Structures are given as C-alpha cells and as structure tokens.
C-alpha cells in the first residue's frame, strides 16, 4: 500500500472515525469537544515560524517536557506549538506550560493531506519534532514538500511494530526516507529503522529522554511527610499507578 491508497482509505474511513469519537465521548465527554481542530478548523490563534512538537498523549507529553523547556531556553525568540491527540494529553500539556506564553497548543489534525496543509499553513514551523513512534505519512510528506525537517525524538520500535510497518513497505519506506533525524533509544531499534527505509546517516542512538526528567525537591519532601503520616518510614510502599477499568478492584483485593 502506497501513500495514495492509504489516503483514499483514510477518507473513506472518516465515518468510522466519527463513530469512534462518539463512542469515546460517551465515557470521556471531552472527545466531543474541539472536533474542528482534528480537521485543522477553528484552531486557536497561532504565532507562525517556531518549532512544532507532537506528543500523542499524557506519557509522551511528560517525557517531552524537559526537551521543550530546553528548546524554550535555546531559542528564546521562537514560539513552540505542542500538539497531541487525546483530551488527557491536552490537559497535561496545558498544566505543564500554563505559565509559558510562548507555548501554543492544539490537537494534531487527522492525517489527511488537506488538514495537514491547513495546519502547516497556520503554524509554519521551522522544525517538527515527533515523540517516540507517532508517524503520520501525510503530515511528514507535507513537511518534506515545504522543506521542514522532521525529527523523531526518543524513538522506539519493537520487533512487533517493525513487522507491522514492514507489511506496508511502499508506505513506510518513503515516509522514513523523508525524515531528517531519528534519535533512537537503543541500537537494536536503530537497526530496525534502517531496515525499514530510514537513511543510515539520519539515525542516532541517544538513549531514553525519560532519564532526563528531574524530580521536584518539594515532591520528595511531600513524600517524606506522607510516609510519616502513614508511619511507613521503615517499610516499602506499593503504588498502583495508571490503572485501567477493573484493575482498581484487583488492587484493593490484594
């Protein structure tokens, strides 16, 4: 499958996309809001000419935060547009950068050529940085047509994902070849990107950006105070975090 066929199937599948949004909105009403942004309509006012960073959801947004803050310091004259795909990711981005006026935020439009063009017309980035493995062929192709370099930060690619991408070599290969940099977590993953079509000179092993996160000293102080309240200074504390439906009951039973 090449990009033309992929795009045609995406357009044909838009009714299914609408149904999926509706189903998600039944559990999370925020999915029914800001739908225009998903087609690059009704976007907030944007200052053009900065850096675009895409983090699909909460985890990627948190991981990207140190990199975004470093970009703010290194390029004090540039706005930074941070996009995501989920309401929870949007909430996290807005909370992380509530006091930073140079941070602009909206949803990333769906990977349709017309939506990608409208988005890039509005943002006009000098550089695009995508977190981990959120690869969209039309967005990347539209960047390449405009001479906008695209970097994949904290890149990862499991064997299973590589096999999936490999099944669509006519789509994946040209897309990866259009990208300018892959900052990959491990050498094994770097080799998978090369085998799928990334140019060898664009692939670098940089480790995981998540190790660059720093813990707020006040958070450590609050943790110490909680241990004191629980009389738990000398015993381990088990935390069940990021649980899903049905798992809380299992944790409580344990």
Local structure of 185: helix, strand or coil: coil
DSSP state, residue 29: G
Q: How many CB atoms lie within 10 A of CB 31?
A: 18
How do residues 235-247 score in pLDDT, each as one tens digit?
A: 887 888 888 888 9
- Six-digit token pair at 200? 């060898």
Residue listed under structure tokens 């299992």:
250
Alpha helices by DSSP H, listed for the chain, are: 3-12, 14-27, 58-74, 87-96, 113-123, 137-145, 159-166, 169-177, 187-196, 217-229, 247-253
Best CA proximity match to 105, nearest among 130, 69, 80:
80
How confident is the model at residue 59, as a pLDDT? 87
Identify the pLDDT of residue 217.
Answer: 84
User: How does the average pLDDT of the chain come out, rounded?
Assistant: 93
Q: Considering the candidates 37, 60, 132, 178, report the single residue annotated as catalytic.
A: 60
Of 30 and 134, the one with more pLDDT: 30
Given a cut of 80, whether residue 160 has pLDDT beyond it is yes
Asked whether residue 69 carries a pLDDT value surpassing 80, the answer given is yes
Q: Residue 122: which of 34, 35, 37, 40 has the closest Cα? A: 40
pLDDT computed for residue 227 by the predictor: 87
Element (H, E) at 98: none
Using one digit for the tens of pLDDT, what is the confidence trace for 168-223?
Answer: 999 999 999 999 999 999 999 999 999 999 999 999 999 888 776 677 788 888 98
Residue 186 has a pLDDT of 93
Grouping H, G, I as helix, E, B as strand and the rest as coil, residue 55 is: coil
| Residues 6 or more apart whose Cβ sits within 8 Å of residue 22 | 32
**Percent of the chain scoring above 90 in pLDDT:** 78
Q: Is the pLDDT of residue 4 over 80?
A: yes
195 is catalytic: no
At residue 128, does pLDDT exceed 90?
Answer: yes
| pLDDT on residue 112 | 97
Mean pLDDT, residues 126-153: 96
Lowest-confidence segment of 12-26, 27-41, 198-212 by average pLDDT: 198-212
Structural domains in the chain, sorted by start:
36-212 (3.40.50.11720), 217-253 (no CATH)
Integer-rounded Cα Rg, in Å, for the chain is 20
pTM: 0.83
Cβ pair 176, 8 in contact under 8 A: no
């Amino acid at each position: 499958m090449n990009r033309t066929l992929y795009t045609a199937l995406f357009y044909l599948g838009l009714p299914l996309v609408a149904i999926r949004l509706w189903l998600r909105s039944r559990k999370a009403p925020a999915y029914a809001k800001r739908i225009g942004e998903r087609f690059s309509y009704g976007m907030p006012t944007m200052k053009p000419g900065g850096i675009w960073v895409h983090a699909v959801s909460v985890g990627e947004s948190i991981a990207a935060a140190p990199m975004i803050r470093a970009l703010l310091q290194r390029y004090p004259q540039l706005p930074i547009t941070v996009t995501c795909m989920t309401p929870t990711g949007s909430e996290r981005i807005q909370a992380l950068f509530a006091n930073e006026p140079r941070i602009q935020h909206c949803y990333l439009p769906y990977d349709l050529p017309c939506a990608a063009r409208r988005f890039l017309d509005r943002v006009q980035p000098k550089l695009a940085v995508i977190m981990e493995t959120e690869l969209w062929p039309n967005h990347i192709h539209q960047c390449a047509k405009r001479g906008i370099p695209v970097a994949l930060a904290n890149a990862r690619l499991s064997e299973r994902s590589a096999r999936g991408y490999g099944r669509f070599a006519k789509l994946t290969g040209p897309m990866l070849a259009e990208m300018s940099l892959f900052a990959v977590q491990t050498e094994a993953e770097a080799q998978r990107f090369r085998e799928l079509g990334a140019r060898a000179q664009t692939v670098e092993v940089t480790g995981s950006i998540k190790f660059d996160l720093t813990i707020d000293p006040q958070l450590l102080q609050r943790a110490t105070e909680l241990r004191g309240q629980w009389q738990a200074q000398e015993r381990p504390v088990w935390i069940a975090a990021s649980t899903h439906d049905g798992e809380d009951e299992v944790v409580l039973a344990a």
